[in-house]
Amino acid sequence: MTTAPDGAELVFLPLGGSNEIGMNFNLYGYGPPHDRKWIIVDVGVTFGDLTTPGVEIILPDPTFIEDHADDILGIVLTHAHEDHIGALPWLWPRLRAPLYATPFTSFLIREKLRDAGILGEVSLTEVPLSGRFQIGPFDLELITLTHSIPEPNGLAIRTPLGTVLHTGDWKIDPDPMLGEVTDVEAITRLGDEGVLAMVCDSTNVFVEGEAGSEADVRVALSALIKSLTGKVAVGCFASNVARMDTIIRAAEAADRRVCLLGRSMHRMSAAAKSVGLLSDVAPFVNDKEAGYFPADKILYLCTGSQGEVRAALSRIAEGNHPHVTLGAGDSCVFSSRVIPGNEIAIRTLQNRLADRGVRLYTDRDHPGIHVSGHPCRDELARMYSWARPRIAVPTHGERRHLLEHKAFARDLQVPEQIAPRNGDMVRLAPGRAAIIDEVTAGRLFVDGGVVTPENSEPLRERRHAAQNGVLIVSVVMDKRGRLSEGLEIRSVGLPGDLENPLEDALDDVADMVEAAINRMDRDERDDDERVEAAVNRAVKKVSQRLWERRPVVETIVVRV
C-alpha cells in the first residue's frame, strides 16, 4: 500500500439510503480535497407512494458528483436489487464511469442498459465472486455474504488511510439454499488487518435475534403447498431466486408444474440460469398452456406481492388477466414481507382475491413461509465481533434505524460511531470521524418517462388537485369586452349531495365570477391575463366559503 500524500483524506458521502430504506447511492472519496478521486457504490431507486401521484420511480439526485464526473473512477454494484442498481439507466449517462459487478448482477444490468438503449456506451467489467481488483488508489475486494438475492457482496475498500468494510445488504444464513454462506474467514481476516470503518445495513436493528434461514422456509412452504388443493398461486419477490427455487421444488414434490407470471419472474429466472442456477428444474409452463392443466396440477409463481397494480397478482384479482383465473377452492400464498408504504395496496389486493373465494396464506398466519434478508441484532453483533471496526457508520435505514444502530454499536464497544444523513460528507481519516461538509442530496422523480426535480410544478399541481379538486371556467367575451353568453364551469373532485347539490354550488361560483368581471373597467376586460387573474381570485374566494378548500383553477378566455 502506497503512502498517503500530504493533505489526503478518506471520506464517505451517502447521497441515498441514509435516512431512508432504499435508493442506495454511496460515494467514497480519497485524496486532498482539491484533487479527490471517487468511487460510487450502488446506484439504486426507491418507489413512489400516495404522496407522489403519477410517480412510480424515484432517483437519488447526483448533482454533487455529476459536477465531479471527471474524477469518478468507477461504479461498483454490490448486488442486483432495484434499490442498488435500478437508477443506472437514468443516472449513468450523467456519470459515465465504468461499472463493476459479479456475473448475476451483470446479467441484469445489461438487460436494463439494453432496454434504455445505452448498453453499447457502457464499460461493464464482470468480477468473480471473492474477486479483488484495483480502481485508482482504491484496492477493492468482494466479500461473499448472504441475502435474499444471488451473489450479494460486501466490499472491502483498502486505501493508504485505512480499510472500509461496506456491507451492502446482508444477513447470516447458515443454509441459504442457493449460493455460498457468509465468508466469515474473509471478514475475520479483515478484522485482523484492521478495519477503519464499517458502513453497515440497519434495516432490522430493532429486531431481536436472527432473521432466519431459507432452509426453514423451504420446509414450511413445502409442507403448506403439498397440503393445498385446487389451483395455487404464490407471490414472492422475483429477485429472491432461492425462494423461487424452493417454491418450484415444493410444486414438483406436490406433482404440480410451474407457470411463471410477470416479466420480472422471467427476467430473474433467465439471470439465474445464466449463472447455473435453476438448471435442474422441469421446464416452465406458459400461461396459455397452464389453463389446460387440472387445477391440482399447476402452480403459478407470480409477481405483485406488494399490490403493484400492473403485476400478475393484481390482474388476477381484478379478473383481467388474459389467461389465468382464481376462485373458490383455489389458494394464494404470500411468501414475502409487507414493505412499509404498501399496506393499503396489499390489503386491497388480498381483499379482492378473498372476494373471489381464494384462500389466502401469509406470514402472519404461517410465520415460517418468509424470512427477512437483513440482519437482526444478534447478527449485527456477530458481524461487529468479526470485523472489529474503529468506526461504525450505519446506513440503509430511516433516521430512527440509524440512531438505534449507532447506540447499539456504542454498546458493543465500537470506539467511534457516526450516523450521517444523505448529503453529509464524513471524514473517516485522518483523525476522528467527523462530518466536514454538507452537499446537495435530494430526489429526482421519473414522471411520465421524464426525470424532473422533486418539487417540480406538475407534481405540485397534481398534489394540490388531489387534495382540493379542479375547477375549469370558460369565459366568452365579445369585442366590446362584455360577457356574450353564460359562463361554463366544470368541476373535478369537488363534493355535492342532495341537500347541497354541486350544480347549485357551481351556479354560486358563476355568479361570483360574473360579478368580478363586471366590476372591471373596459381596459382591464380587454386584457386576457387580467380577466384570468380576476376570475381566479373570485373562484378561490367562493370555493373557500363553499367547500373550505382552494381548488386548482383553469380559466379559458375566448373572444368572439
Are residues 91 and 67 in contact, defined by beta-carbon separation less than 8 angstroms? no
262 lies in the same domain as 285 = yes
Among candidate residues 280, 160, 262, 171, the one with its CA nearest the CA of residue 217: 171
Among candidate residues 329, 335, 336, 333, the one with its CA nearest the CA of residue 358: 329
351 lies in the same domain as 416 = no
Q: What is the largest CA-CA distance in the chain?
A: 89
Cα–Cα distance for residue pair 229/213, rounded to 1 Å: 27
Give the model's pLDDT for residue 285.
97
Asked if residue 23 is part of any domain, the answer here is: yes
Average of per-residue pLDDT across 108-117 = 97
pLDDT in tens, 426-456: 999 999 999 999 999 999 999 888 898 887 7
37 lies in the same domain as 153 = yes
Average of per-residue pLDDT across 478-486 = 79
Rg over CA atoms, the chain: 28
Query: Which parts of 54-213 are beta strand (E)?
Result: 55-60, 72-76, 99-101, 124-126, 132-135, 138-144, 153-159, 162-166, 197-201
Cα–Cα distance for residue pair 278/301, rounded to 1 Å: 14
pLDDT beyond 70 at 193: yes
Three cell numbers, residue 313: 397478482
Are residues 131 and 144 in contact, defined by beta-carbon separation less than 8 angstroms? no
Give the total number of structural domains in the chain.
3
Helices and strands per DSSP (H, E), number in the chain: 17, 27
Contacts of residue 291, defined as CB under 8 A and 6 or more positions apart, other chains included, come to 323, 324
Q: What angle do CA 217, 221, 222 make, to 5 degrees?
A: 115
184 lies in the same domain as 263 = no
Cα–Cα distance for residue pair 258/247, rounded to 1 Å: 9
pLDDT beyond 70 at 1: no
406 lies in the same domain as 360 = no
Give the model's pLDDT for residue 172.
98
Q: Is 389 helix (H, G, I), strand (E, B) or coil?
A: coil
Q: What angle do CA 146, 306, 350 make, to 5 degrees?
A: 130
φ and ψ at residue 56, rounded to 5 degrees:
-100, -30
168 lies in the same domain as 24 = yes
Look-up: residue for cell 400478475? 312
Asked if residue 318 is part of any domain, the answer here is: yes
The DSSP secondary-structure symbol of 485 reads: S
- 312 vs 468, residue with greater confidence: 312
Average of per-residue pLDDT across 369-393 = 98
36 lies in the same domain as 116 = yes
- 326 vs 553, residue with greater confidence: 326
Give the model's pLDDT for residue 342.
87
pLDDT beyond 70 at 518: yes
Amino acid at 506: L
182 lies in the same domain as 327 = no
> Domain range holding 510?
469-559
pLDDT in tens, 272-311: 999 999 989 999 999 999 999 999 999 999 999 999 988 9
Three cell numbers, residue 311: 403485476
411 lies in the same domain as 538 = no
418 lies in the same domain as 484 = no
Asked if residue 464 is part of any domain, the answer here is: no
Least confident of 59-63, 172-176, 496-500: 496-500
CATH code of 307's domain: 3.40.50.10710
pLDDT beyond 80 at 485: no
Q: Is the peptide bond before 430 cis (omega within 30 degrees of 0)?
A: yes
147 lies in the same domain as 199 = yes
198 lies in the same domain as 262 = no
Torsion of CA 363, 368, 371, 375, to 10 degrees: 120
CATH code of 519's domain: 3.10.20.580
Give the model's pLDDT for residue 427.
98
The angle, 0 to 180 degrees and rounded to 10, between the axes of the packed helices 263-274 and 103-116 is: 130
Query: Whole-model pTM?
Result: 0.89
Are residues 395 and 201 in contact, defined by beta-carbon separation less than 8 angstroms? yes
